[in-house]
Every structure is written in C-alpha cells, then in structure tokens.
Amino acid sequence: MELLNPLSDSVFPAKTVAFTSTAGSTDTWQAGPQGVVVWCTEAAYITVGEGVTATTSGTPIPANTPIPFIVPGGTGAPWRVSAIRVSADGDLYAKPINIR
C-alpha cells in the first residue's frame, strides 16, 4: 500500500481560498511536490498547474472529500490550485504531498 507523505509545512504549507461563481486560486508553491490533496466545503471544479484558473471544464469533486491530484509537469514555474463552484460558494483547502 502506498502512503501519502506530506512535505515540510514550512516550505509547502497548506493553503486555503474562497471560491464562488468566480474561480478562487491559492497562492503558489514552488515546483517539487508530486501531488496535492484537495478538499472543498462545497462541490467544486478543480484545476491544478502553473497559472491555472478553474472553469466548469475542470475536474468536479464532491464536498468534504479529500482528493489527491498529480501536479502536472511543466516548466518548473510555481504552480497553484484553483476551484470554482458547482452550485454553492465554498472554501478550497490544499496541501502538497509526495506519493511513496
């Protein structure tokens, strides 16, 4: 069984942001983590990557359910998580992880 390994809280802290019918995006993290665990207080569409902004074409996730996402490879630039509501405003929580 593979375990999720959280990264240093001082270097890769958890972040939160509100979302509405307008996307909310976390502050960025530096490249390095393999993934990020995301959960929201309401159902939301999620996008992960460099400079992303969520749309209704993103991955839908249910409320109050932690979901791991792979951080897509990119240019090595800082990356973020973005969410937009399915039907109700909420809060997005995200914590970078490594999968081992």
Q: Provide CB contacts within 8 A for 45, sequence distance 6+.
A: 54, 55, 56, 57, 58, 59, 60, 61, 83, 84, 85, 86
SS3 of residue 15 by DSSP: strand
Q: What are the sequence ranges of the domains in the chain?
A: 4-99
Supply the pLDDT for residue 57. 97
Q: Give the model's confidence band at 69: pLDDT under 50 very low, under 70 low, under 90 confident, else very high.
A: very high
Burial annotation 8-39 (CB, 10 A radius, 16+ → b, else e) = eeeebeebebebeeebbbbeebeeebebbbbb
CATH architecture designation of domain 4-99: Sandwich (2.60)
Supply the pLDDT for residue 34. 93
> What digits encode the pLDDT tens for the residues 45-65?
999 999 999 999 999 999 999
Residue 100 pLDDT > 80? no
d(CA 41, CA 85): 10
d(CA 61, CA 59): 6
pTM of the model: 0.91
> What digits encode the pLDDT tens for the residues 70-99?
999 889 999 999 999 999 999 999 999 997
